[in-house]
Homo-oligomer: A and B are copies of this chain.
Amino acid sequence: MNIKDEKVSIGAGTLLAPVPAVMVSCGDAPENYNIITIAWTGIINSEPPITYISVRKSRHSHALITKAGGFVINSTTKPLTSVTDYCGVKTGAKENKFETAKLTPIPAEHVKAPLIKESPVNIECKVLEVKEFTTHDMFIAEIVDVHVDKSMMDLKGKLMLDQAGLVAYIHGHYFEVKREAIGRFGFSVMKAKTKKRISREKNIKKMRKK
């Protein structure tokens, strides 16, 4: 099979998709709290959990994160998309984005940067290393704690992240993720018996909701 018959080359580019669209909060005191929107982020290591964000040197948040040695990754939802975009376009050098975007800072537990109250998931990160690349610097950081909004937990204390309507970034656009999962990890090889049990549990849950 020949590549030219099936595919079109569009050249080298950052077309990995979908990637997260998150708001990263930073600063070390209320007067310099800032928010930068980031799509260049991901998980690097599972145990301990290690993540990264890539930030241009020219960005106002670059110096804030370098100085404080920590930041918070705040996930985004459809109602937050407009302020997410706003925080990616505007610079914190000229305005306090918590004020202009009407977002609420909450002091974190382990880092100096604040959490964003309106976000369903807040990930506290401590910088381990800064790795320089040409356009971006990569802040490699350990995840030291994760907070979720109380509305994200069901009555049994189980996380309902599927109900958050999280937002992804694809090729310059923001998209909401559907709320119905296609399947869980391992579903393709799951035994019929296990599938039945899970489906039964789901139905019980649905009935309880009614």
Contacts and interface: CB of A to CB of B under 8 A. Distances in A.
A178 B181 contact: no
Interface size class of A (residues with CB under 8 A): 35 or more
A183 B143 contact: no
B20 A17 contact: yes
B14 A22 contact: no
A8 B48 contact: no
B106 A2 contact: yes
A26 interface: no
A25 interface: no
Interface string A103-135: 011111100000101000111000000000111
Q: Which 4 A-B pairs have the closest CB atoms?
A: A42-B42, A45-B133, A7-B147, A173-B181
13 contacts: A1-B106, A2-B106, A3-B147, A7-B122, A14-B51, A15-B123, A17-B20, A17-B121, A19-B19, A44-B136, A46-B135, A173-B183, A174-B183
